[in-house]
Structure 1
Amino acid sequence: MGRIFKNFIFNFFSQLLSIIIPLITAPYLSRVLGPDNIGIESYINAVSQIFYTIGMLGLTNYAAREIAYVRDCKAERSKVFWEMILDRVIVFSVTLAIFWIVGYNSPYRSFFIIQSVWLFAMFFDASWFFIGMELFELTVFRNFVVRMLTIISIFALIKDTDDFGLYMVLCAVSQLIGTVCIFPQLSKYINRVEFKKLNLWKHFIPSIKVFLPQFASVLYLQVDKVMLEAICNDTKQIAYYGQAEKIVKAPIALITAVSSVMMPRIANEFAKNNVDVIKKYLDFTLQGLMFMAWPVTFGMAAIAEKMIPWYLGPGYEPAVYAMMILSPIIIAIAASSLSANQYFLATNQTRIMTISYSVSACLNLIFNALLIPKFGFVGAAIGTIIAEFTVFIMQYHVMNKQIKVIRTMISCLKYAIYSAIMFVIVVIIGKKCGAVITTTLIQAIVGCLIYGILLLVTKDKLFFLIIKKIFRRRIKQ
């Protein structure tokens, strides 16, 4: 557990950085760039994510898993690494050509060209290798430096709506710098391999099995913005939905950080056929996920009304409704991060992932088509809720048949009760205060205190275990 806890801390810190930067820049950019440009950015990012996922053919998560399988043998992991890199060259060439065709026929042609730099950087980012090796600390410093440079550049160079193109360039170039910086670290862990010893085609079919659920997943996660643009033809609608979604999903990165840490470990235990160990890891992780997800879900809904006006500024008030509707996805995404990324992917059971994501994608498309014309971004938010909980229910139904997790899920409902009590008090505080930053801070502090007191009074075992771990490490230091 020592290595896992250490990796969780590193990954937690990395994810924290990815949250802090948008939290710092969002209020500034929303005011400087305006809802229309923010909507365009959300739309282009959604299209880019779809192309990235389709083009990669599942090679990212598949590659991390394959490295985890052979991480103890340098010759084997070197072979897998170079096969994956050359496979990426092939799929990127095809993807980029199609991406440019789509961008050429778009009213946002110039921004699509800029975004192709981001696409290149994403395709050749080697973070998956270090995830498979469980060497999370090697990417944390890189992420810190690159993201700090990004935030400094944004505040120094982006001054008004005319700088939107420059902002898109900064985002793309920062991703490219991060990709380039990580390659020198690879020389310690891989060797050169003769080209004739590589089998470039053996990974495509297995990776497609991983790709299918990823494609279905990104389809229902990103298609809502594409449909909003197509149906409403109003980038402000995308901005309201996209900004609310960013705020709601920000803490999800922290909550699910444990999933990235546990996947290679469970994959390695699966290769050794240690079923009991896998069950132990899953139960512990599920409890930890729900311990964090329930209070964050209720907390996000509670602070939405008073947070959006001061945080995003004038013109974004409708995002309050999107934020409140979207808050429950935190529970669904946190839970499915365990079933999909930790269990089904690690144990090579991608069929249920494909089915659940495909059903959810279809439902999302249907409900978007029915609700967006009448309700706009609110309809898209409802469609997302339906899609996320469909994934959660279907995957846990199957997983529970193989490894009983229902008792752990039921035991975690106590966190929902504690969070509901917290929610009522936080909302009451908000009703008596104005929409200013101090209100949100007071709500957040009081909410944490109430939740912590309830855990203390009920003598929650996980809460005391976390406290013990923290204090034990401080004493050792």
Structure 2
Amino acid sequence: MASQTKLPSLTRNALLNSMRTVSSLLFPLITFPYVSRILGAENIGKINYSQSIVSYFALFAGLGITNYAIREGAKIKRDQESLTRFAQQIFTINIISSAIAYVAFFVTVAVIPSLHAYMVLLFIQCLTIGFTTLGVEWLYSIFEDYLYISVRTILVQVVSLILMFALVHKPSDYIIYAAISVFATSAANIWGFFYSRRYARLALTRAPRIRRHFNPIMTLFMNNVATAIYSNAGTTFVGAMLGDVQVGLYSVAMKVYVIIRQAINSLTGVSMPRLSYLSSNDPKGYLRLLNKLFNAVIVVCLPAAVLVFALSRPIVLIISGPKYIESVPMLEIIAFALAFTAPGVFLMNGILIPLRREKKVVVSTASGAAINIVIYALGIRAFGAPAACVSIVVAECTVFALALCFSWDQVRQLRLGGSIMHAVAGCLLVLLCNAVFARTVRFDNIFVDFAVRGTTYAVVYAATLLALRDESALFFLRKLLRKRG
């Protein structure tokens, strides 16, 4: 078994995790324009609706195990015996929760008649529950082994892409597409169980010490439940109230939002094990890293929101085609959530969870979920799917505001003012450029539109940061020049 005495480069891990996330996101991004045209909005709606049902049971199977295991495991990873004992306990608890989730899933599908029409899709998609449990990705995250995680994910994505183009050719192939999607997200996890021997010998234990782990796991689970409500319930509500076609349209906006949200979060997601380790062993180093990462989050998330808003029309047309043009207003609305989601997630994963304030995390996400459900219930019937997009923005804003309040004792020690001003200045210039384009230039070709305006906006924003000598921008520039040199 490998033991690590030197902590790997966070910059390298961030790049690797970004590559992994981008590859996972490129699969639906590349395939969605093809399958949305082949399968149609109705079949896409069926796939997304059934997936939203499965996601609730997958949520229960996972409990709050991943974040808890990473936080606690990172603090003891230099003690091989303690780490192995801890990993076996967590793995056993995860197997038990997955078995309960499967029983509940099969009973639910059997007793609810409206789900019988989605039976095949549901049974295919529920395989992700077991594969995710066996994947034990939390173990590799403890040791920050993002090279392995990235390589296995990219290889499976390539195979899945080949299968999709080879096997999906007509509307009735939506079942095949669902199966390939499950393979794309889950097949790599099969390797994970065997590769885990590098770090710990995983096996079921008769003494999982459930009582010891129960409270923090369940607290983090409640956070995951609340997050799932305002992330996934929109698909369920739209499907139940408005039908499969509206689900298909809403799913386009949500897909773009989720892709960009995950891409941004992947840059800092690798930091949780390191921050957990430093919070217990090097408080000053913890604050230094926290400051650097939070500044990076700020200068990335704000332009992401503005760029998606400005380029929403070509993005929708490129990904899905003219039949999904009604998704453009939805994407314009939900783009603003990107300004809050990454900072909110970072505050929770970078401060509240490492410092064992998981109860504050639950309060933040539960408040967002409650507001989200109210807007769903009152707004979707009257205003349609755009109301679900508004609810996402409001929920993310609420979660961020509360997480900021609960972590203010740490945040106030950071230097964030410069990054905020630089990001705002860059975003205002991008919006000004967008207004100029709207009044003076119209592109007939959507690819040219996206390329020209997207490149212009990115250059304007980057140039603004460099002109203002933003620390994060200069850091990335030095890294880039060093690699080229």
The match for 2:87 among 61, 81, 84 is 81
* Match 1:114 to one of 119, 124, 133: 124
**Equivalent residue, structure 2, for 1:126:** 136
1:251 to 244, 249, 260: 260
Q: Tell me the equivalent position of 1:264.
A: 273
Q: 1:211-230 counterparts in 2 under 5 A?
A: 211-230=221-240
Q: 2:159 aligns with which of 149, 160, 164?
A: 149
SS in 1 for 2:135: coil
**Equivalent residues in 2 for 1:419-430 (5 A)?**
419-429=427-437
Report the 3-state secondary structure (helix = DSSP H, G, I; strand = E; otherwise coil) of the residue aligned with 1:256.
helix
Cα distance in structure 2, aligned partners of 1:468 and 1:185: 35
Task: Describe the superposition over 1:11-31 as per-residue Cα deviations: whole angstroms up to 9, x where unpaired.
Answer: 111112122222211110110
Alignment of 1:49-448 (within 5 A): 49-104=55-110, 105=112, 106=115, 107-191=117-201, 195=205, 198-232=208-242, 234-272=243-281, 274-404=282-412, 408=416, 411-429=419-437, 432-434=442-444, 436-448=446-458
Q: CA deviation at 1:393?
A: 0.6
SS in 2 for 1:108: helix
Once residues 5 and 377 of structure 1 are traced to their aligned partners in structure 2, the CA distance between those partners, rounded to angstroms, is 39
Distance, in Å, in 1 between the alignment partners of 2:58 and 2:67 is 13
The answer as to whether partners of 2:302 and 2:339 remain within 8 angstroms in 1 is yes
Match of 1:32 in 2: 38
User: Cα RMSD (Å) of the superposition?
Assistant: 1.9
When structure 1 is superposed on structure 2, of 5-14 and 425-434 the one drifting more is: 425-434
Q: Distance in 1 between matches of 2:133 and 2:251?
A: 24
**Aligned partner of residue 200 in structure 2, secondary structure:** coil
CA 1:193–1:379: 2 relative to 1, 3 Å: closer
Q: Aligned partners of 2:181 and 2:98: how far apart in 1?
A: 20
Matches of 2:244 and 2:324, distance apart in 1: 12
Q: Structure 1 pair 368/78, CA: closer, same or farther in 2 (3 Å)?
A: same
Instruction: Give the 3-state SS of the residue equivalent to 1:203 in structure 2.
Output: helix
**More deviation in 153-162 or 311-320?**
311-320
Alpha carbons of structure 1 residues 409 and 345: separation in structure 2 relative to 1, 3 Å: farther
- TM superposition shift of 1:427: 4.8
Shift of 1:9: 1.6
Which residue is 1:46 aligned to?
52
2:212 aligns to what SS in structure 1? coil
1:66, CA displacement in angstroms?
2.2
Q: Which amino acid aligns with 2:253?
A: A
State the one-letter code of the partner of 1:257.
S
Spell out, residue by residue over 1:32-79, the C-alpha distance to the aligned partner (whole angstroms, 9 max, x if none): 111111112222222222221223221121112222121111111111
Please list the CA deviations of residues 335-381 of structure 1 after superposition, one character each: whole Å capped at 9, or x if unmatched.
Answer: 01211111111111111111111111111010111110011110101
Aligned residue identity for 2:388: A
What is the rounded CA distance, in whole Å, between the counterparts of 1:53 and 1:308 in structure 2?
29
Partners of 2:308 and 2:97 in 1: how far apart? Answer: 39
Partner Cα separation in structure 2 for residue 149 and residue 194 of structure 1: 32
Kindly tell me the number of residue pairs found equivalent between the two proteins. Answer: 473
C-alpha distance after superposition, 1:252-297 (max 9, x if no partner): 222111332111111111222x332222222111110111111111
19-28 or 466-475, which deviates more = 466-475
Query: Aligned pair in 2 of structure 1 residues 204, 305: CA closer, same or farther (>3 Å)?
Result: same
Gaps of 5+ in 2: 1-6
Give the distance between the partners of 1:197 and 1:372, measured in 2 at CA.
48
The CA distance in 2 between the partners of 1:403 and 1:455, in whole Å, is 22
**Please, which moves more after superposition, 118-127 or 219-228?**
118-127
Distance in structure 2 (CA, Å) of the matches to 1:284 and 1:19: 26
State the distance in 2 between where 1:122 and 1:31 align.
30
- Give the direction of change, closer, same or farther, for the CA distance of 1:176–1:468 in structure 2 (3 Å limit): closer
One-letter identity of the residue aligned with 1:127: E
Structure 1 unmatched runs, 5+: none
- Conserved in 2, the CA contact under 8 Å of 1:400 and 1:406? no
Stretch of structure 1 that moved more, 25-34 or 80-89:
80-89
Q: TM-score, normalised by structure 1?
A: 0.94
Give the Cα–Cα distance (whole angstroms) in 2 for the partners of residues 315 and 253 of structure 1: 26
Distance 1:386 1:86, change over 3 A: same
Q: Of 448, 451, 461, which aligns to 1:451? A: 461
CA–CA distance in structure 2, aligned partners of residues 177 and 248 of structure 1: 25
Paired AA for residue 456 in structure 2 = V
| 2:29 paired with 1:23 | yes
Matched, 1:9 2:15: yes
Partner of 2:4: none
Q: Which moved more, 1:103-112 or 1:363-372?
A: 103-112
Residue identity (%): 20
Cα displacement string for residues 83-112 of structure 1 (whole angstroms, at most 9, x for unaligned residues): 112112211111111112222321312211
| Aligned partners of 2:89 and 2:204 also within 8 Å | no
Aligned pairs for 1:456-471 within 5 A = 456-471=466-481
| SS of residue matched to 2:407 | helix
- The code of the aligned residue for 1:68 comes to A
User: How far 1:311 sits from its partner (Å)?
Assistant: 3.0
Given that residues 422 and 450 in structure 1 are in contact (C-alpha distance below 8 angstroms), is that contact kept between their aligned partners in structure 2?
Answer: yes
